[in-house]
């Protein structure tokens, strides 16, 4: 596997966000996931027939700095941001592939990581990077609850920028989406506190992949594609 190092670092979780998750844990009966690679502990939540991480992935090895070499970034290159917002990954990094697969065909290395139609990618053991179809299932379940638009239901009730035209999050199912922003391939970070962007495992040819987005200005969940060299957050879903 591309990420194959022996020394790891554990992130100090933001105290305010930890308190928010603890409160949600009582309301939604959160589970707990320990990533044995680095000791990171994540809250998890059952939504319909799926089990999702209720936090953004923070995994990165000590042996490989969070930079262009491994495609993993702290927002704004400020490490303490990871404790709340998690890390941002290029698509190849999220898929646990060599950086060249942000532009090249997947080939044998990529195909070897597909099991039963799933990419484990950089996810903890027993979890995987969700496909476009799995995100669609999550959205459809939210719609079935008839508690507003799916994006509003998935947003945390805190952290999102409040101004004219903003839509307050309900956090109806415990997903606790936070506005972790993104990073363009040329190095520009954007939309912290305004939008959340999540990679899917669904590739769109050599250079593009599908992603999902949630904005402070609305209640919908966007579905689009962009360059694999951009960097977004990751929410993992449990194998079933």
- Number of domains the chain is built from: 1
**Nearest CA among 234, 222, 230, 189 for reference residue 95:** 234
- With respect to residue 68, please indicate whether it lies within any of the assigned structural domains: yes
Q: Taking a C-beta distance cutoff of 8 angstroms, is the pair 195, 220 a contact?
A: no
Higher pLDDT pick, 122 / 118: 122
- With respect to residue 9, please indicate whether it lies within any of the assigned structural domains: no
Residue 37 to residue 6: CA distance in whole angstroms: 9
pTM of the shown model: 0.91
3-state DSSP helix/strand/coil percent for the chain, to nearest 5?
Answer: 25, 30, 50
Q: Is the pLDDT of residue 115 over 60?
A: no
- With respect to residue 6, please indicate whether it lies within any of the assigned structural domains: no
- With respect to residue 10, please indicate whether it lies within any of the assigned structural domains: no
Residue 108 to residue 104: CA distance in whole angstroms: 12
**Nearest CA among 157, 170, 193, 208 for reference residue 75:** 193
- With respect to residue 142, please indicate whether it lies within any of the assigned structural domains: yes
- With respect to residue 4, please indicate whether it lies within any of the assigned structural domains: no
User: Looking at residues 120-127, what average pLDDT do you find?
Assistant: 93
Which residue has tokens 């209720």?
54
- With respect to residue 8, please indicate whether it lies within any of the assigned structural domains: no
Full residue range of the structural domain in which residue 31 is found: 15-238
Q: Taking a C-beta distance cutoff of 8 angstroms, is the pair 236, 130 a contact?
A: yes
**Nearest CA among 83, 57, 91, 96 for reference residue 183:** 91
Q: Taking a C-beta distance cutoff of 8 angstroms, is the pair 188, 117 a contact?
A: no
Give the model confidence (pLDDT) of 215-234 as tens digits. 999 999 999 999 999 999 99
Higher pLDDT pick, 130 / 118: 130
Query: Which pLDDT score is estimated for 104?
Result: 84
Residue 231 to residue 146: CA distance in whole angstroms: 32
76: DSSP letter = G
Query: Which pLDDT score is estimated for 191?
Result: 97
For 77-138, the DSSP string reads G-GGGHHHH--EE-HHHHTT--GGGGTS--HHHHHHTEETTEE-TTSPTTEEBPPHHHHHHH
- With respect to residue 89, please indicate whether it lies within any of the assigned structural domains: yes
24: DSSP letter = H
Query: Which pLDDT score is estimated for 5?
Result: 41
């Amino acid at each position: 596997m591309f990420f194959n190092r022996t020394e790891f670092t554990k992130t100090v979780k933001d105290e305010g966000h930890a308190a928010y998750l603890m409160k949600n844990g009582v309301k939604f009966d959160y589970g707990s996931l320990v990533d044995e690679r680095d000791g990171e502990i994540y809250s998890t939540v059952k939504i319909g027939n799926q089990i999702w991480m209720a936090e953004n992935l923070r995994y990165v090895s000590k042996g490989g700095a969070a930079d262009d070499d491994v495609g993993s970034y702290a927002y704004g290159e400020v490490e303490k941001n990871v404790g709340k917002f998690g890390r941002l990954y290029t698509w190849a990094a999220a898929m646990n592939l060599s950086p060249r697969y942000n532009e090249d065909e997947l080939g044998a290395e990529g195909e070897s990581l597909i099991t039963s139609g799933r990419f484990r990618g950089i996810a903890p053991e027993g979890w995987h990077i969700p496909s476009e179809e799995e995100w669609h299932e999550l959205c459809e379940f939210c719609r079935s609850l008839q508690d507003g638009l799916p994006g509003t239901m998935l947003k945390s009730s805190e952290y999102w920028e409040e101004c004219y035209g903003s839509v307050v999050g309900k956090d109806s199912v415990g997903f606790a989406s936070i506005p972790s922003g993104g990073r363009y391939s040329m190095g520009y970070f954007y939309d912290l506190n305004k939008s959340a962007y999540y990679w899917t495992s669904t590739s769109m040819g050599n250079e593009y992949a599908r992603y999902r987005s949630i904005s402070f200005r609305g209640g919908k969940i966007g579905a689009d594609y962009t360059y694999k060299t951009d960097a977004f957050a990751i929410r993992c879903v449990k194998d079933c």
